[in-house]
């Protein structure tokens, strides 16, 4: 087992200088063993953290989630059933095409790169101190774990970088579009700032023809879009407007939630361009909502079984941005407010 705690060496221990708070971003290297779990990793949670984003980067064909997770109070939150987790992960992701991890923590199993953001519902607290976790997977092998723990500083601005991946699709950023995106996120007290609109021509990714359930794979066309702009020194979330998506698909998020890490092949959301402004705004907000925090109010698996979101105040069939509508509940607003992608004005 290799375990590398970047930044820990900067913390002074001598008596004559005050102890510095632990770093807000940590990278750990470990590996999933033959039993489908990594050894336990410990990490320090700084005081006053907005949230903990756990990003697990592994092999492109491996399914990943958390096999154990506890915060400073040492209360185990996952409580996996006994036995190797790989078969249950494959049953939910591949068989049921849902990808919900067994156990007490609401987790979306993910191919290649997994993301969890805690808290995701009201009442969950980030308890500082020593956190502990294990990675679960159906594939033994090395993984990199990133922990992003921004300060709970009231940040409430979401920057959006709009990319038009086409020579011909119209600029989505009309006044009507901008006003509607702002109105939708204002329900969560989030101010949307559109940082800019950039047209990317000649990319061979203008028409996305592949699509997979429950989410896109690392080798999909959609997951190649972030690579087009990975080296840009910008903040905020990237939105890619393409000429076409497979029939019936208006947009897709590359994570539910997605990794708040520029450079990841899952960093961004994809939207079919050329739609009327209000519809374009609603799809953009829906997909960005997924990426920051939100599940559909209700998903249905291949078996017919239904899977509700983890929130207490959403109702299937009621108007909601995470169904076909536009409303956000207080629980959804709380989940969005924890995103590491939010910045100060
Ligand atoms: Zn959706």
Quick one: pLDDT at residue 151? Answer: 97
* Nearest of 25, 89, 87, 21 to residue 53 by alpha carbon: 25
pLDDT tens digits for range 282-338: 999 999 999 999 999 999 999 999 999 999 999 999 999 999 999 999 999 999 999
What is the rounded distance in angstroms from the CA atom of residue 288 to the CA atom of residue 269? 7
- Given pLDDT bands bounded at 50, 70 and 90, which one contains residue 52? very high
CA atoms 77, 312, 338, 240: torsion sign: positive
Separation of CA 98 and ligand 1 centre (Å): 12
- Calculate how far, in angstroms, residue 28's C-alpha sits from the geometric centre of ligand 1: 31
For residue 120, the CA-to-ligand 1 centroid distance in Å is 17
**Alpha carbon distance 272, 180 (integer Å):** 17
The residue whose two tokens read 């903990």 is 52
Q: What is the pLDDT of residues 221-261, one digit of tens each?
A: 999 999 999 989 789 999 999 999 999 999 999 999 999 99
For the chain, the C-alpha Rg in angstroms (whole number) is 20
Residues 6+ apart with CB under 8 A from 82: none
Give distance in angstroms: CA of 124 to centre of ligand 1: 24
Question: pLDDT tier at 116 (50, 70, 90 boundaries)?
Answer: very high
Omega prior to 40 cis, within 30 of 0 = no
Helix 175-186 vs helix 277-292: crossing angle, to nearest 10: 40
Q: Which helix (H) or strand (E) holds 184?
A: helix 175-186
Mean pLDDT of 50-63: 98
57, pLDDT greater than 50: yes
The number of beta carbons lying within 10 Å of the beta carbon of residue 91 is 12
**Full set of structural domains in the chain with CATH:** 8-148 (2.60.120.380), 157-337 (3.40.390.10)
334: Cβ contacts below 8 Å, ≥ 6 apart:
119, 121, 122
For the entire predicted model, the pTM comes to 0.94
pLDDT band at 17 (very low <50, low <70, confident <90, very high): low
Mean pLDDT of 189-193: 98
User: Ligand 1 center to residue 239 CA distance, Å?
Assistant: 15
Instruction: Provide the strand spans (E) within the chain.
Output: 25-32, 41-45, 52-57, 63-70, 110-111, 113-118, 129-137, 141-148, 157-165, 191-199, 237-242, 251-253, 269-272, 298-300, 306-308
Q: Look at residue 166 and tell me whether its pLDDT is greater than 50.
A: yes
Tell me how far apart the alpha carbons of residues 338 and 51 are, in angstroms, rounded to a whole number: 6
Residue 167 Cα to ligand 1 midpoint, Å, equals 27
Q: Are 259 and 113 spatial neighbours (Cβ–Cβ below 8 Å)?
A: yes
Is a pLDDT exceeding 60 seen at residue 14?
A: no
Looking at residue 345, its pLDDT comes to: 83
Above 90 in pLDDT, residue 76?
A: yes
Q: Say what the pLDDT of residue 16 is.
A: 57
φ, ψ of residue 178 to 5 degrees: the values are -60, -40
Element (H, E) at 31: strand 25-32
Q: How far apart, in whole angstroms, are the C-alpha atoms of residue 115 and residue 148?
A: 11
Half-sphere exposure in the Cβ direction for 278 (13 Å, CA): 3
Q: Is the pLDDT of residue 9 over 60?
A: no
What pLDDT was estimated at residue 262?
Answer: 95
Distance 48 CA to ligand 1 centre (A): 31
**Whole-number Å distance between alpha carbons of 343 and 320:** 25
Give the Å distance between the CA of 25 and the centre of ligand 1.
Answer: 29
CA distance 222 to 241: 11
Confidence at residue 6, expressed as pLDDT on a 0 to 100 scale: 44
Distance from Cα 130 to the centre of ligand 1, integer Å: 35
Confidence of residue 129 (pLDDT cuts 50, 70, 90): very high
Q: Would the pLDDT of 3 be above 80?
A: no
> pLDDT > 90: what percent of the chain?
91
Distance, in Å, from the CA atom of 213 to the CA atom of 225, rounded to the nearest integer, reads 18
* Closest-CA residue to 211 (of 168, 259, 254): 254
- From ligand 1's centre to the CA of 332, what distance in Å? 14
Question: What CA–CA distances, in Å, run from 122 to 42, 318, 337?
Answer: 25, 20, 11
- With CA atoms as reference, report the closest residue to 297 among 318, 319, 322: 322
């Amino acid at each position: 087992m290799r375990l590398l705690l970047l930044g820990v060496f900067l913390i002074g221990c001598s008596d004559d200088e005050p102890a510095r708070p632990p770093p807000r971003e940590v990278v750990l290297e470990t590996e999933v063993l033959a039993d489908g779990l990594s050894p336990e990793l410990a990490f320090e949670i700084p005081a006053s953290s907005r949230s903990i984003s756990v990003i697990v980067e592994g092999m492109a064909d491996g399914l990943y989630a958390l096999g154990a997770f506890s915060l400073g109070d040492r209360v185990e939150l996952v409580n996996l059933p006994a036995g190797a987790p790989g078969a249950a992960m494959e049953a939910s992701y591949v068989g049921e095409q849902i990808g919900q991890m067994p156990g007490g923590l609401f987790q979306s199993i993910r191919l290649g790169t997994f993301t969890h953001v805690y808290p995701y519902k009201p009442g969950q607290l980030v308890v500082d101190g020593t956190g502990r976790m294990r990675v679960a997977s159906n594939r033994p092998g090395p993984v990199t774990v990133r922990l992003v723990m921004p300060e709970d500083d009231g940040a409430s601005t979401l920057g959006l970088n709009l990319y038009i991946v086409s020579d011909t699709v119209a600029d989505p950023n009309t006044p009507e579009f901008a006003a509607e995106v702002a109105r939708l996120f204002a329900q969560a007290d989030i101010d949307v700032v559109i940082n800019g609109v950039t047209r990317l021509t000649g990319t061979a990714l203008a028409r996305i023809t592949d699509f997979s359930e429950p989410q896109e794979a690392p080798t999909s066309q959609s997951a190649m879009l972030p690579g087009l702009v990975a080296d840009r020194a910008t903040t905020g979330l990237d939105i890619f407007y393409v000429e076409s998506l497979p029939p019936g698909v208006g947009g897709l998020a590359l994570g539910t939630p997605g990794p708040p890490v520029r450079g990841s092949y899952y960093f961004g959301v994809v939207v079919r361009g050329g739609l009327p402004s209000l519809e374009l705004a609603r799809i953009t907000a829906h997909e960005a909502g997924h990426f920051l925090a939100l599940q559909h109010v209700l998903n249905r698996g291949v078996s017919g079984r239904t899977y509700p979101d983890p929130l207490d105040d959403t109702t299937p069939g009621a108007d909601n941005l995470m169904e076909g509508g536009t409303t956000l509940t207080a629980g959804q607003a709380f989940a969005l407010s924890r995103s590491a992608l939010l910045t100060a004005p």
